[in-house]
Every structure is written in C-alpha cells, then in structure tokens.
C-alpha cells in the first residue's frame, strides 16, 4: 500500500508541472475518502434478528437443569442404571484402569523361604544337616516344575543357568552406577517389576558397587511356573542363591556418605529371582526380584544430610556484670560484696 502511494505521488508531481492546480485537488480528494465512504451494514428492520444472531449466535437450549441433577444424585445405583437405559446412554468408564503388562508377572510366585542362619552354619554341623534335609524335601516340586520349563526351553540346564544368572546379576549391579547412560541395557537385564525397585531414588545419589569374589558357587534352590489368563501363557521363575564378597557405598548429592563403605568388604548371601516368559518365542531370563528373609538382621541406618537451622544468639550475663549493676543501683557497696 505504501509503495502504491509513493508511485501515485511521483506521477502527480510530474503532471503538476503542466497542471499546477491538479496536485492540490487530488490531495484533498485522497484525504477525504474515509469520510465519504458509506457503511456496508444492512440497516433494514426486517434483518434486525439476523444481525443480532450474527453477533450473539443462536439461543442455547442445552442449559443445565439443576433440579434434575439434584434428583439424579439421590438415585440408587439400580435407579441410575434404569435411567441410563431409558435415555440410551452407556455406563461411565473409570479412568483409573491400570495398564496390563504381559511380558512379566507383578509378583514372586510361591516365594522361597530361606532357612534361618543360611551361610553361617557349616553343613557338617547338626543345624547345617537339618537345613540340607529341609531343602531336599522342597526339591521334589521344583523338579516337576523344571520339566515344564524344558517343554519350552530344551537347552535349559540348572548348573549352567546358575553361573549365567550370577554374571547377569553382577552386570546389572555395575550398570546401576550410571542409570541414565545404561537405561536401555538395564531394561534388557531387569523385568518391568525389578527396574523401578533397583533404581529407586538413585537420580540424585552416587551408587558404588564392586564385586570381589564368589565365596560359594551359585546354585538354583527353587523353581516355579505359573500361567496367566490362559494355560498357554506360561511364566517361569528360578531362585538362585549367591554368596558374594562385595563392597557397597551410597553417597548423597552433596558427596557425603549415606550407607556402606567402599573400603570394607562384606560377605553377602542373596536370593535373586529370575523370570522368563516361556510362551514368548523371544523371551529371555531377567532379574525379577530379591528375597529378604524375616530373620535377617536390621541393616544400618541411613546417614542423611540436613540443613542446619539458624538460631538467634543468646547473650549470657556474667557474674562480674551483675555485680557491677548491683553496685550502681545500691549506694552501699557492702551489699554487693555480701
């Protein structure tokens, strides 16, 4: 628009040489164009309703009926169901439906109960012999479940799996030292149940774990299988006993030690549960959980860092200052020395 005005002014300047009064007449006409424009609005009285609807819109008929709403709140569930059938409405669905994950189970199937004092008593002693006898009684059902696993996985061997499971567990523990970098690999080694449990509150903490040696060879102590939703959808869980010498230390976001120590090694007996979706052709064994027996002693308390509160200083009055005040108030100095 601005370019058109400039071009028209140049043309007028050229023509004004031959016609001096033409420029002023055209300028007056250009400035008075806004005042001479006529309104495009239709002012006929017949179209008054249409002009109102153009601005305000059609009258609404779907205003809420508060009386009806109050009556529906007093209805019983049977009356509400009958009223909805009359209007042809579907029952409301709840938004709090939890998603179903069929790649793993959400619990430990028939959890293994470790014998009390495991790892502390020798197998030669009387208590150790009793523990061995109890474990032998539980092996019968585990052998039956092992047959079901071999129906889906023919190459499954208990001794080889125990060693593979320990290597898998050690790798997962080492990856926890940097969760953000190793998130994809951790999902391959841990199930959807174990991952949030292992990475709980590690975002702002430093986790240090180191494997030193294996005190005893790992062994499978418990085998269980279970179906979900149908008998063809089978899951297997294997509990592996590991006796490891390791170091563990956890530091907070300020770099202060909260738990454990990197210099003190400890012998730990752990019962790790591994799970596999047998019906899945591409299913793999993953860490699913950890069994903590009830007889295990309470762990050390976590050392937390708190912000130090700021208190106002309390000025303590000394004996010399009180003596001076008493001397100044009383005229007799003997009262102050008494």
* Residues 190, 198 contacting (CB under 8 angstroms): yes
Q: How confident is the model at residue 69 (pLDDT cuts 50, 70, 90)?
A: confident
The predicted structure's pLDDT at residue 16:
45
DSSP 8-state symbol, 1: -
- Residue 211 confidence (pLDDT): 93
Band of the pLDDT at 231, cuts 50, 70, 90? confident
Q: Are 128 and 121 in contact (CB under 8 A)?
A: yes
Which span out of 13-27, 241-255, 295-309, 318-332 was modeled with the highest average pLDDT? 241-255
Tell me the CATH class for 126-291: alpha beta
pLDDT attached to residue 26 = 42
**CA 212 to each of CA 166, 170, 198, 208, 264: distance values in angstroms, whole numbers, following the listed order:** 13, 11, 21, 13, 11
Q: Is the pLDDT of residue 243 over 50?
A: yes
Lowest-pLDDT range of 50-59, 125-134, 264-273, 312-321: 125-134
- Using alpha carbons, list the distances in angstroms from residue 106 to 186, 191, 199, 291: 18, 9, 17, 14
Grade residue 319 by pLDDT with cuts at 50, 70 and 90: low
H/E element, 7: helix 2-18
Task: Reply yes or no on whether the pLDDT at 65 is more than 90.
Answer: no
Please tell me the predicted confidence (pLDDT) of residue 327. Answer: 47
pLDDT score, position 95: 65
Output the pLDDT for position 132: 66
User: What pTM value is reported for the model?
Assistant: 0.60
Q: Closest by alpha carbon to 266, among 215, 324, 220?
A: 215
Domain ranges of the chain: 126-291
More confident residue, 101 or 196: 196
Tell me what the mean pLDDT of segment 121-140 comes to: 63
Is the confidence at residue 322, as pLDDT, over 60? Answer: no
Cα separation, 140 vs 223, in Å, equals 10
pLDDT band at 272 (very low <50, low <70, confident <90, very high): very high
pLDDT at 46 over 70: yes
pLDDT mean over 207-233:
90
Higher-pLDDT residue of 331, 166: 166
Per the listing, tokens 């179906």 go with 227
The mean of the pLDDT values for the chain is 78
Other CB atoms closer than 10 Å to residue 278's CB: what's the count?
A: 20
């Amino acid at each position: 628009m601005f370019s058109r005005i400039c071009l028209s002014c140049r043309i007028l300047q050229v023509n004004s040489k031959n016609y001096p009064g033409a420029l002023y007449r055209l300028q007056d006409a250009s400035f008075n164009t806004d005042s001479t424009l006529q309104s495009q609005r239709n002012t006929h009285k017949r179209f008054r309703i249409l002009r109102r609807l153009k601005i305000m819109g059609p009258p609404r008929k779907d205003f809420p009926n508060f009386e009806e709403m109050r009556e529906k709140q007093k209805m019983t569930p049977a009356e509400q169901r009958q009223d909805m059938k009359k209007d042809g409405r579907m029952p409301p669905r709840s938004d709090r439906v939890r998603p179903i994950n069929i790649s793993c189970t959400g619990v430990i199937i028939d959890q293994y109960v470790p014998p009390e004092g495991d790892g502390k008593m020798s197998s030669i002693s009387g208590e150790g012999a009793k523990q061995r006898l109890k474990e032998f009684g539980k092996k019968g059902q585990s052998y039956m479940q092992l047959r079901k696993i071999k129906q889906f996985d023919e190459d499954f061997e208990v001794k080889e799996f125990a060693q593979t499971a320990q290597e898998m567990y050690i790798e997962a523990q080492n990856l926890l030292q940097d969760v953000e970098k190793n998130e994809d690999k951790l999902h391959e080694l841990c199930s959807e149940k174990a991952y949030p449990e292992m990475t709980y509150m590690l975002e702002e903490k430093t986790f240090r774990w180191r494997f030193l040696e294996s005190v005893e060879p790992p062994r499978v102590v418990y085998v269980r299988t279970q179906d979900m939703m149908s008998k063809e959808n089978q899951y297997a869980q294997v509990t592996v006993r590991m006796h490891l010498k390791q170091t563990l230390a956890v530091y907070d976001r300020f770099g202060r030690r909260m738990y454990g120590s990197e210099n003190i090694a400890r012998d730990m007996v752990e019962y790790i549960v591994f799970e596999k979706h047998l019906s899945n052709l591409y299913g793999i064994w993953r860490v699913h959980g950890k069994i903590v027996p009830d007889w295990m002693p309470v762990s050390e308390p976590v050392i937390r860092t708190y912000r130090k509160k700021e208190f106002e200083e309390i000025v303590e009055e000394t004996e010399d200052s009180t003596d001076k005040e008493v001397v100044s108030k009383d005229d007799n100095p003997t009262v102050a020395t008494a």
